[in-house]
Amino acid sequence: MNSNANAPRLDVRHLSTFFDTDEGLIRSVADVSFSIRPGKTTALVGESGSGKSVTSLTLMRLLPRTASTQVSGQALFTNRAGETLDLLALPEPAMRRIRGNEIAMIFQEPMTSLNPVFTVGEQIAESVRLHMGLDRAAALAHAQRMLELVEIPAAAQRLHEYPHQLSGGMRQRVMIALAMACNPTLLIADEPTTALDVTIQAQILELMRRLQHETGMSILFITHNLGVVAHHADDVAVMYAGRIVESAPVKDLFASPQHPYTQGLLACLPAQQRKRELAAGEVGAKRRLYAIRGQVSSPLAPPPGCAFEPRCDHAMAACRVAMPGLRNAGPQRAARCILVPESAAVPLEIA
């Protein structure tokens, strides 16, 4: 039992997920630690292949059963009753009671996540019947209320339609309704707006913000969109090659990024380029947008030392010797770089 009301909703400690393949051992997630505060949003940010989705699937215990996996670490989850449970150590029946009930997940592509042979109402009602014990009629009535909650027009009609009959934005709203059906305390959103145009994306994000405000749920928001992070996250954990390379409150991270990879990601934004031009008195000059050189190394053959060293403009010989540990970079801040002094306040410069 956890008596601390201020305890994190989810506290991930030294999580690692390795896949044993014919080609070798793939270290998809390596020694990852982060926490999510009650009622707050933590964003997990990084390029494709950085390990964000594998992290979420590991936490939900949804890794493919056919895969040969090695999972270690702890994922301490505080449930509605105030009990702290290690998600990675729970028996599968206990995890099934949590999955979809206390912890829900929105997947990247709703068309591949929703069952094409069942109506959307039946799919929402199934979760409600399982976790809330309602009969079929009451479960369908609850499903309709959830569709209305996520602002789907003509919810009574949509309840009996199949996923292919709905637009992309509608399907994503259905996924949110399905995730919210049992009033979860933690929502994991894995790139929930990737396939949507910017107008629908803004509507979905505002809907999630409203539902969080109304229910007090915590959110793990997985994305590569830093613009979304700036407006919707409270805390940020930046991943690269399966590891957390920087973590900070969102305002601090955007104001003073400490790790060269985080600085590179922010420097790629057009708005950041304009700030640099204004500072240099080069407004109107035609300059190429900044891009991080090179590519993410293969997980089968990671470089010695720091994984970002081959792409880093500040790399030195010591960076190739050993993987640096996370360093204290200020209040609630950490960065995995030997160039970051303890309690750093000044970021490195991007050329």
How far apart (Å, rounded) are the C-alpha atoms in residues 337 and 305? Answer: 11
Residue range 135-146, pLDDT digits in tens: 999 999 999 999
CA triplet 64, 67, 68: central angle to 5 degrees? 140
pLDDT at 212: 93
Residue 333 contacts residue 236 (beta carbons within 8 Å): no
Question: What six digits make up the tokens of 275?
Answer: 């700030």
Tell me the residue ranges of DSSP E strands in 90-226.
103-106, 186-190, 218-223
Q: Whose structure tokens read 């204004």?
A: 278
Q: Does the structure show a pLDDT above 70 at 195?
A: no
Using DSSP, state whether 317 is helix, strand or coil.
helix
Residue range 14-62, pLDDT digits in tens: 999 999 998 889 999 999 999 999 999 999 999 888 999 999 999 999 9
How far apart (Å, rounded) are the C-alpha atoms in residues 315 and 124? Answer: 51
β-strands 218-223, 186-190 pairing:
parallel
Average pLDDT for the chain: 88
- Residue 181 per-residue DSSP state: T
Q: Does the structure show a pLDDT above 70 at 283?
A: no
Single pTM value for the model: 0.88
